[in-house]
Structure 1
């Protein structure tokens, strides 16, 4: 097994790609060697900012680079399936930004291809790899609050109303559910598994994307998740887990928490400060690189079957809300 850094390329040069590249300064087992954008100017500017040797003006050129072992996809939602397929067919491991795809059908196509080619693939649900979520899973495994009976999770924000903003563009896979609602849905999945019943309501706004969603998930054994996400109001995104023996409160923001409160019923509240290095984006990358060096084709923390069931849940929510993307019609 090689101990050399995994050579990584980034598709896309937007905000999330920049944040990911900044995070990689804390990842000793990764070497960022290439970036691709739809324009040479954007690729050059990104490369200069992050000290990247190779800059490509097409995504296909980066995928064809024989030096690259892992590709981080930071392209628009609507491109995730096709860009993942392109990289997997070129034999590259893929770390795909959430949402993993537009729908479960696309997700299954990508997952099936990765398994057929025996190539690493993972949804970039970075939150799961942060110290706070490592601690949260440790608490749940140890049963400190007993059986989880209820999850309350959600958040709301009011974005820029510029019609060119990506969340307001259905042709790019915009809308609040796939971009932000995936976080509480993923939390419920991590804690309780796939739901047995899904109830949802919401609104599709003037830009023809969902701008508010309320979700009720029923799970085996009677546990329930009550989730929400909105672009029509403002509320700090947080998580509460209620168990048979106690409760856990994960402080906002739920996508990058650094503090957890634990209260076993009848006892004093315990506070856990769980800071992360840098901006936190490197933890998922380190895990992906280590998996590649180990010869693994998926992550045990964010397994592919769970990614697929999360996309199926999101599909069901969108169906009940009435949110259909142009490319699905």
Structure 2
């Protein structure tokens, strides 16, 4: 598994750090528009090849996979171009900007017999699997509350009159795309598509959401997903049933500790030994790739597609428009 990366942000640094613990996988090249931007990260992780031309990196026969960690609005084009050049892809969340883009990727990947993965940590975490095992003990479920809030330094730039990519509709930014997407993955991988979706958001004058609440309604269950980049909060997930509840510490993105409360008993569960959450998704992707489990890859893609459908409905309900919507 020879990987070339697109992007030089902190998420790429975490990705490369996790990759060192995956046997049989390594990064052999990095892409950045400017070599000096990529050089510190390349030196840190002992990567000798830096490309400043994507076409040349896509043409490199030594590369099997492309890891896409560019701004959200480029996820589709970079993933599609990689597939056109016969590369498998790991693409950061949110998978794409629109449902149409996701469907085009899925169709093309199937046609070319290539694997595409969305890099969403949540659903691959050992503690998330513990939650799936324990949830039946709660009896009929009624409520889920998810809160993932993280004040962004870029919000200060936004208030100062600048428009960072993460708060720019042209780059498919916003709190829903950047942070609340973890909550959507958490809920939808457990319960599937909801009957209705509503997003109430705090919006900047440029139309982007800086925080908000998504309400997902199922037949007998209501899920509330809070995501904020303009405030801080105690991050958590609470799953409430008639016989008890599950408390997930630190929120859906990390599932750092799971506490199951049944009547007067509380059981703490934790099977995560790596502090780098990306390790678990990379381990899963490597296993799927090594064993040529295209069926498992397809299952994950269908889940990503379901999340993108809810993501798009949520944006529409809050009238959040991306440049990609017009394409």
TM-score w.r.t. structure 1 length? Answer: 0.91
Give yes or no for contact 2:116–2:297 (8 Å, CA) kept in 1.
no
Inter-partner Cα distance in structure 2 for 1:282 and 1:291: 14
Aligned residue in 1 for 2:188: 189
Q: CA deviation at 1:275?
A: 3.5
Give yes or no for contact 1:211–1:231 (8 Å, CA) kept in 2.
yes
Do structure 1's residue 9 and structure 2's residue 4 form an aligned pair?
yes
Do structure 1's residue 231 and structure 2's residue 229 form an aligned pair?
yes
Q: CA deviation at 1:302?
A: 6.3
| Structure 1 portions without partners, runs of 5+ | 1-5
Inter-partner Cα distance in structure 1 for 2:199 and 2:103: 23
Q: CA deviation at 1:126?
A: 1.3
Inter-partner Cα distance in structure 1 for 2:291 and 2:169: 39
Q: How does 1:130-209 map to 2 (within 5 A)?
A: 130-140=125-135, 143-160=136-153, 161-162=156-157, 163-209=162-208
Inter-partner Cα distance in structure 2 for 1:191 and 1:111: 22
| Structure 2 portions without partners, runs of 5+ | none
Inter-partner Cα distance in structure 2 for 1:257 and 1:295: 29
Aligned residue in 1 for 2:26: 31
Inter-partner Cα distance in structure 2 for 1:218 and 1:188: 11
Task: Work out which of the residue numbers 97, 104, 115 in structure 2 matches 1:120.
Answer: 115
Inter-partner Cα distance in structure 1 for 2:297 and 2:7: 26
Aligned residue in 1 for 2:277: 280
Q: CA deviation at 1:298?
A: 5.9
Task: Work out which of the residue numbers 307, 310, 320 in structure 2 matches 1:310.
Answer: 307
Q: CA deviation at 1:164?
A: 4.4
Give yes or no for contact 2:141–2:220 (8 Å, CA) kept in 1.
no
Give yes or no for contact 2:212–2:227 (8 Å, CA) kept in 1.
yes
Aligned residue in 2 for 1:3: none
Give yes or no for contact 1:203–1:321 (8 Å, CA) kept in 2.
no
Do structure 1's residue 82 and structure 2's residue 81 form an aligned pair?
no
1:70-122: CA deviations, max 9, x gaps? 22111110000000001111111111100001111111111111111111111
Inter-partner Cα distance in structure 2 for 1:294 and 1:116: 19
Secondary structure of 1:26's match? coil
Q: CA deviation at 1:197?
A: 1.2
Aligned residue in 1 for 2:316: 319
CA RMSD of aligned residues (A): 1.9
Inter-partner Cα distance in structure 2 for 1:300 and 1:134: 18
Give yes or no for contact 1:120–1:298 (8 Å, CA) kept in 2.
no
1:226-268: CA deviations, max 9, x gaps? 112123322122111112332111001431122110012x231
Pairs aligned (count): 320
Give yes or no for contact 1:128–1:301 (8 Å, CA) kept in 2.
no
Inter-partner Cα distance in structure 2 for 1:152 and 1:84: 33
Q: CA deviation at 1:301?
A: 9.8
TM-score w.r.t. structure 2 length? Answer: 0.92
